[in-house]
Amino acid sequence: MKIKICGMKFRENIEDVVQLKPDYLGFIFYPQSPRYVDDLSVLKAIPSSIKKVAVFVNAKLQDALEIVADYDFNAVQLHGNEKPDYCSQFKSATVEVIKAFGVNNEFDFSDLKRYKDSCDTFLFDTKSDSHGGTGKTFNWDILKNYKEPKPFFLSGGIGLDNLHEVNTIQNYGLPIYGLDLNSKLEVSPGLKDTQKVKEAIDKIKGI
Ligand SMILES: O=C(O)c1ccccc1NCC(=O)[C@H](O)[C@H](O)COP(=O)(O)O
């Protein structure tokens, strides 16, 4: 099970979290987010063994492509209403495309078929007007309606209190690829509590 820690922002904190060896670290390029990464020099703290993910919300395509190329991102996470054609523009041998969807009880998983060729993985987060980082879970039972073969990250309000429930989803036989954790491991927006991150990573490795 892959581990993605999202919403990193501060240099020293990134250096501490890097020591815990998550698989992916996410950086938010959405100015309305309190985790918006305004100082890109922090990216220098990440070794090549950890995948750097640029998270965009309905960004201008050219701006996003430039950021990915200029800062050597390994993956993009498209967290808005991006269409398959837009997602395809990032696909290359070296850049992974993660397409995020906000899920609620009305979510129609059959709509995802059209993203079959334009992304590598999905990410299922809790639907919200702020797009992400809410700390709220969605009803994971609804994932029983997911019938596609594409692997996905589970996201939205995952923390030390509910990590054990992830087993339930695995029991559904779904292609869960990784877990994405963010605000439940924070001291304040963008600043991770390294002790909580360590505990979470240890627990996930035991799942
Ligand atoms: O984290 C944000 O502030 C954010 C804002 C806008 C779009 C995406 C954002 N985060 C992306 C993530 O992948 C988060 O980890 C995901 O939303 C889950 O967050 P949380 O519910 O806090 O665990």
Which of 6, 128, 161 has the most ligand 1 atoms within 8 A of CB, as the residue to mutate?
6
At residue 12, the 3 state secondary structure works out as: helix
Q: How far is the CA of 162 from the centre of ligand 1 (A)?
A: 17
CA distance 57 to 65: 13
DSSP state of 170: H
Instruction: Indicate the CATH number of 2-205 among 1.10.20.60, 3.10.450.50, 3.40.50.300, 3.20.20.70.
Output: 3.20.20.70
**Are 35 and 12 spatial neighbours (Cβ–Cβ below 8 Å)?**
no
Q: What is the CA radius of gyration of the chain?
A: 16
Residue from 156, 202, 150, 157 nearest 176 by CA: 150
**DSSP per residue over 105-156, as a string?**
TT--GGGGGGGTTT-SEEEEEE--TT-S-------GGGGGG----S-EEE-S
> Residue 139 and residue 133: Cα distance in Å, rounded?
16
Question: Does residue 112 contact residue 128 with C-beta atoms inside 8 Å?
Answer: no
pLDDT in tens, the chain (207 residues): 999 999 999 999 999 999 999 999 999 999 999 999 999 999 998 999 999 999 999 999 999 999 999 999 999 999 999 999 999 999 877 899 999 999 999 999 999 999 999 999 999 999 999 999 999 999 999 999 999 999 999 999 999 999 999 987 777 889 999 999 999 999 999 999 999 999 999 999 987
> How many angstroms separate the Cα of 21 from the Cα of each of 3, 49, 114?
9, 8, 34
Indicate which atom in ligand 1 lies nearest the CA of residue 136. 21
Query: Ligand 1 mean position to 98 CA, how many Å?
Result: 13
The pTM of this model reads 0.96
Q: Is 184 in the pocket of ligand 1 (CB under 6 A)?
A: yes
User: For residue 45, what pLDDT is reported?
Assistant: 85
Which of 150, 144, 149 has the alpha carbon at shortest distance from 120?
Answer: 150
ipTM of the complex: 0.98
Q: Which residues contact 99 (CB under 8 A, 6 or more apart)?
A: 77, 78, 82, 87, 115, 118, 119, 121, 122, 123
Task: Tell how strand 2-5 and strand 51-56 pair up.
Answer: unpaired
Nearest CA to ligand 1 atom 17: 132
Distance 6 CA to ligand 1 centre (A): 7
CA 154 to centroid of ligand 1, rounded, Å: 12
Determine how β-strand 51-56 pairs with β-strand 176-181. unpaired
Measure 67 CA to ligand 1 centroid, in angstroms.
19
Q: Which atom of ligand 1 is nearest to the CA of 123?
A: 13
